[in-house]
Amino acid sequence: MALVSGFLDWIDDRLGDGLEKVLCSHHARRLRRLGWADVMDTAKGGGFSEHAPIRAGCRADVLVDGEQALPAMVEAITGARSHVHLAGWHSSPDFRPTRGPDSRTLREILSSVTGHADVRALLWAGPPVPAFEPTRKRARLAREEFMRDTKIQCVLDSRERTLHCHHEKLLIVDDEVAFVGGMDFTAMEGDRHDSPKHPADRPIGWHDLTMRVEGPVVADVAEHFRQRWMEVAGETLPEPRVPDPAGDSTVQFVRTIPEKTYDFKPRGDFSLLDAYLRALRSAKRLVYLENQFLWSPEITEVLIDKLRDPPDDRFRVVLLLPRKPSNGADTTRGQLSRLLDADDGGHRLLAVTLTSHDGDNSVPVYVHAKLGIVDDTWMTVGSANLNEHSLFNDTEANLVTDDEKLIRQTRLRLWAEHLELPEEEVGGDPADVVDHLWRQYAEQHDSHRLTMLPGVSRRSERLEGPLRGLLVDG
């Protein structure tokens, strides 16, 4: 029996390798045909994409979990003087971004400013067939409710690639402040209201991130919304004014737009993938990723090379992933098996998840954040997952910065949250913190928030990941 099992594992591994190569070759041919071949140039590092403006003089803040992000977004909306522009996967009119006796629904909040500011919401229309949420019926009902007896303009965008969606989450107010991240204004598939304490008083917790920016980069976020809105809604909007400098951070707006989706980008935009690959290729000491999925062979290939030939003896890779993603759990496990093979017992790789405890009660904390940190010198926050959907086929939006002070501050806040320790206790050399705190808590503390990601081994199924990628990526 063991012999048969071993043979099946060998077959799965060989087929997985073959399909992986086919998928990567397909992506490379596609990008080359579209004029984006340089994205796959392994000699190119850095972190900022060559395909998008790099803006100095910005102010950037990372808002952690719904407790911090949602009130800040509401405050920006209610302070609008000219306009509010919202783009998302799905937004629910009855969603209450804040809690308390005076909390209002999203529809009420948006409607309250329409007397003096234009409110435009650009939402995904849903899949052509009701195979997954939000269905087109749900999207239409949301649009009708947003617009019922209000001056809110709500348009549904159905220009998605087959089996894909409009996944970005943007809020722009007066072209002066923008929010880019993973936070949706909805309770669909999970309660976005959560805090760094992640109390175990709900069926599932929710860990998410949003970046708030002011300064010149806001014009790039606003222009992206303007381009999509004009093409889908047919309304001409003025070009956004570039705001005056507002801080000391350098920030870049990067995105994924599949080819043949919009006339304004007929060959697509893959600057988001470009930025990720450049940063990971440049990694020397630390790669820290929080993400909902880890399917992309392009991402894992870079990490595999780093693990096989570490750029530094203290090089570490920490992956924070959900215990049970909404789909593709086996796909992520298959990619992790490749990373474990590359690590080969070197203990440079750690894959973990979050669980909230309250006495005998424990609930998973869903990792919905999309964060990348490399060496405390590069960081991205946005809507993009590390899969074919987000890097090649959905519309996505991220912000990238090289502000080392902000990056380290963000990492320490997150590590303190996940390890349930004061920031000063996680501020040492990252390799020491990973080896002696992250790994210790994840492996030995059954009642700790941090736990090893279950189902991960060097024998995890390899075939499903690349097969899924080939099926969904036309």
pLDDT digits (tens, 9 = 90+) for 217-271: 999 999 999 999 999 999 999 999 999 999 999 999 999 999 999 999 999 999 9
pLDDT in tens, 258-305: 999 999 999 999 999 999 999 999 999 999 999 999 989 899 999 999
pLDDT at 4: 43
- Does the pLDDT at position 93 exceed 70? yes
Asked whether 106 and 95 are in contact (CB, 8 A), the reply is yes
Question: DSSP alpha helices (H): ranges in 148-296?
Answer: 217-233, 271-282
CA angle 248, 85, 160 (to 5 degrees): 105
Is the four-CA dihedral 142, 159, 254, 372 of positive or negative sign?
Answer: positive
Identify the CA nearest to 386 among candidates 336, 431, 340: 336
d(Cα 139, Cα 179) in Å, to the nearest integer? 22
Question: DSSP alpha helices (H): ranges in 34-156?
Answer: 65-78, 106-111, 136-147
Which domains, ranges and CATH numbers included, belong to the chain?
2-46+282-472 (3.30.870.10), 54-251 (3.30.870.10)
Phi, psi of 369 (to 5 degrees): -65, 150
pLDDT at 13: 54
pLDDT at 421: 97
d(Cα 208, Cα 290) in Å, to the nearest integer? 9
Question: DSSP alpha helices (H): ranges in 253-369?
Answer: 271-282, 297-308, 329-343
pLDDT at 204: 92
CA trace torsion 361, 411, 225, 186 (10° rounding)? 10
One-letter amino acid of 102: D
pLDDT in tens, 337-360: 889 999 999 999 999 999 999 877
Q: Which two tokens stand for residue 451?
A: 């736990």
Give CA 469 to chain center in angstroms.
Answer: 18
Average pLDDT of 50-54?
Answer: 98
Average pLDDT, whole number, for the chain?
Answer: 92
CB atoms under 10 Å from CB of 246, counted, come to: 18
Rounded to 10°, the helix 464-472/297-308 angle is: 140
Q: Which two tokens stand for residue 188?
A: 């669909």
d(Cα 472, Cα 162) in Å, to the nearest integer? 8
- Does the pLDDT at position 462 exceed 90? no
Least confident stretch, 20-29, 216-225, 450-459: 450-459
One-letter amino acid of 121: A
d(Cα 256, Cα 248) in Å, to the nearest integer? 27
